[in-house]
Amino acid sequence: MIVTILEVGKVPERIRDDFASYPVMFTELLKAADPTLGFETIAILDGADFPDPKTLEAVLITGSPFGVYDDTPWMLSLMSFIRQADAAGVPQVGICFGHQAIAKALGGDVDKSDKGWGIGRHAYRVVTTAEWMGETPPTTAAMAVSHQDQVLQPPPDAQVILASDFTPYAGLAYEGGHAISFQGHPEFSDAYSAALYQNRQGNPLTSDEVRAAKESLAAPEDNALVALWMAHFLRHAKKHA
């Protein structure tokens, strides 16, 4: 299976030389979960055209500094692409912005949250289980986060799988089995998360917020587990397409 990564975000310029790109982060994460997966990247931010989703085996939408409500040259095209992929039964995975984009495209409501920035390690309750989560899913899943926007109302056909008080719709699975998405970042290493928070100190984060976020990274993470979920979902969704 070839996973087509839609690159709609880049590592901030000030720390770009120190870390891999988001597509490379995802490739390394998912290769560890399933070495048989192959990957290609469509660099949307560099002006690449969206492919015909009917020609693809699977899609992963990365995080982005943009919001789904932003007037960018490619936002409407992305919304159309997601709907076409869904109609064609192409498996889709969305992370952070990708999570919000799939929700928005398929009928949900996404906007800035009045709770402010979510940063640091967040632990989510597993509120619904699915076949691709394995026979004995854990009760919680923890990831690093970096977001101000949230899914405020999921689409009617979306089932909540991960939730917290701060992010009630942190993980969604869609009816028909064609898409899943997560607000957290399983592709982020702790080193990258810490550097990202530090890079935002002063705008928009305070020094106290950055310190607390970095300290929270001492808590365990479940990146490998979420990667297994993603890999199992892609295989399961393709098998039943």
Distance between CA atoms of residues 84 and 92, nearest Å: 11
For the chain, the structural domain boundaries read: 2-239
Contacts of 16 (CB under 8 A, 6+ apart): 10
- Tens of pLDDT, residue by residue over 49-69, are 999 999 999 999 999 999 999
Residue 150: per-residue pLDDT: 98
Contacts of 132 (CB under 8 A, 6+ apart): 180, 229, 232, 233, 235, 236, 237
- Tens of pLDDT, residue by residue over 53-109, are 999 999 999 999 999 999 999 999 999 999 999 999 999 999 999 999 999 999 999
145: tokens are 């986060």
| Confidence grade of residue 210 (pLDDT, cut at 50, 70, 90) | very high
For 2-239, the fitting CATH number among 3.40.50.880, 1.10.1270.20, 3.20.20.70, 3.30.70.2500 is: 3.40.50.880
Please state, for a pLDDT cut of 90, what percent of the chain lies above it: 94
Is the pLDDT reported for residue 239 higher than 80?
no
> pTM score > 0.85 for this model?
yes
DSSP state of 225: H
Grouping H, G, I as helix, E, B as strand and the rest as coil, residue 77 is helix
